[in-house]
Structure 1
Amino acid sequence: MAPSFVFLPLFALLVISPAFGSDPSQLQDFCVADNSSQVFVNGFVCKNPNVVTVNDFFFSGLDKAGNTNNKLGSSVTAVAVNNLPGLNTLGISLARLDFAPGGLVPPHYHPRATEILVVLEGTLYVGFVASTNNQLFTKVLNKGDVFVFPQGLIHFQYNKGWTNAVALSGLSSQNPGAVFVANAVFGANPPISDDVLAKAFQLDKKTIDWLQAQFTAAN
């Protein structure tokens, strides 16, 4: 009987452990991403350490404001594994967010990361929606304030001030991803059936078709 008591907890641990998955962890000092590799793995193949240089761990440009001359009045300058290969397997990235007055980063979520945001300049109205009862958590942030958006939850940032705003976000993934809700729903390729969307949003098909046209063009 004793072996079964040992086996059952081990089996349960093996079954449960994938639920606590995260970015792959490093088994050496570093695993600089080889973005030219054609091999598909969970993350990126490591570059040969003998050809790694200091520039693989370096990114320049976050001192420069992003272009907010667009419909949303916002710009996101991301620093992730695709443009900083040394982040591979380290489970972290960051982004600079720029906002014109009234600028918005629309509702979206990061499927692979929690986000922590600090306001460097201006005033931001931010919030996220919990999966339980769709509870909305919002806060007005000023310079020096910090707010966290839990992984996988829909959130937004809006400049409610009269001047430009700047924020810096840290994310708990080398490649957090970003799914913008309206773009994904109304700009899907190929389109989601307007029958489905009309029923889901309780709108007529003409309105759904108009929305799809706007977001398909935007994408």
Structure 2
Amino acid sequence: MLATRFALFLVILAVVCSVSYAADPDPLQDFCVGFNDSFSMVSVNGKFCKNPELVKPEDFFYSGLDKVGDTSNPLGSKLTQVFDDQLGGLNHQGVGMVKIELEPKGLNPPHEHPRASEIIFVSEGTMYVGFIESNPSDPNVPNKLYAKTLSPGDVYVFPRGTLHFQYNVGKTNAVAYASFNSQNPGVVTVASSLFGSKPPVHPEVLAKAFQIDVKMVEYLQSLTWKRNN
């Protein structure tokens, strides 16, 4: 019995330790520039890295966030990502960023980042932003919304894994810059993921989940869902 309890303790300890380190790993060298040339790569921590002898200052450089993005889409928004795919020098650094541009009434729809927390800085316009907490332990207690209207110079934090959004409530274009504690935070956009997946989710699943008619689900699934990145 004692041996069984000790084994169970070791299993629980292993799970807790694995969860506590479930984030971008600490780098084991100054840099590990992501690279696609299979003839010039070195594998470190499971990642392919550019040979340090071939690394240039340009590998740590990105230009273009000053350019105005195209918000002429159904959401009225544009995201310009600077993650490891766009900037190889971010590989193994545990950081990333995004420029968020919203035309009046433009929306960055409800989404979540499974691998990172997010902090945004508003540089132009007025944004209504918010996140929703995870399910309370009491099923009779609704999920709480934490929302605020932001102006230039304001900062807001979205905890890792929470559903959140940004909406332009002003009369002019709005711009914000977001930073993440991951080089690849991941994005799960609720509406396009559920109604635009291929193959589609069974309509009855979504009808019961959203408490709407199956025909409405089928209509939503028939739409063309486009993302703003």
TM-score by length of structure 1 reads 0.89
Structure-1 separation of matches of 2:75 and 2:15: 44
1:195 corresponds to 2:201? no
Whichever residue aligns with residue 73 of structure 1, its letter is G
The percent identity for this pair of structures is 52
CA distance in 2, matches of 1:178, 1:42: 24
CA 1:11–1:55 in 2, change beyond 3 Å: closer, same or farther?
same
Aligned mates of 1:42, 1:193 — CA distance in 2: 39
Mapping of 1:137-156 within 5 angstroms?
Answer: 137-156=146-165
1:200: how far off? 1.3
| 1:48 CA drift (Å) | 1.0
Q: Show the counterpart of 2:32.
A: 31
2:27 maps to a residue whose letter is: Q
In structure 1, runs of 5+ residues without a counterpart are 1-6
CA apart distance, 1:43 = 6.8
| Whole-angstrom CA distance in 1 between matches of 2:214 and 2:43 | 40
Alpha-carbon distance between aligned partners in 1 of 2:15 and 2:209, rounded to the nearest angstrom: 35
SS at 2:219's partner residue? helix
Structure 2 unaligned blocks of 5 or more: 1-6, 137-141
8 Å Cα contact 2:100-2:175 kept in structure 1: yes
The root-mean-square deviation of aligned C-alpha atoms, in Å, is 2.4
Q: Is the 8 A contact 1:35 1:82 kept in 2?
A: no
Give the letter aligned to residue 130 of structure 1: E
**Residue of structure 2 in register with 1:115 after alignment:** 118
Relative distance call for 1:218 and 1:80 in structure 2 (3 A) is closer
Aligned to 1:212: 221
Kept after mapping to 1: 8 A contact 2:42/2:49: no
After TM superposition, the score normalised by the length of structure 2 is: 0.86
Q: Please name the residue that 1:4 is paired with.
A: none
Corresponding residue to 2:178 among 156, 169, 172: 169
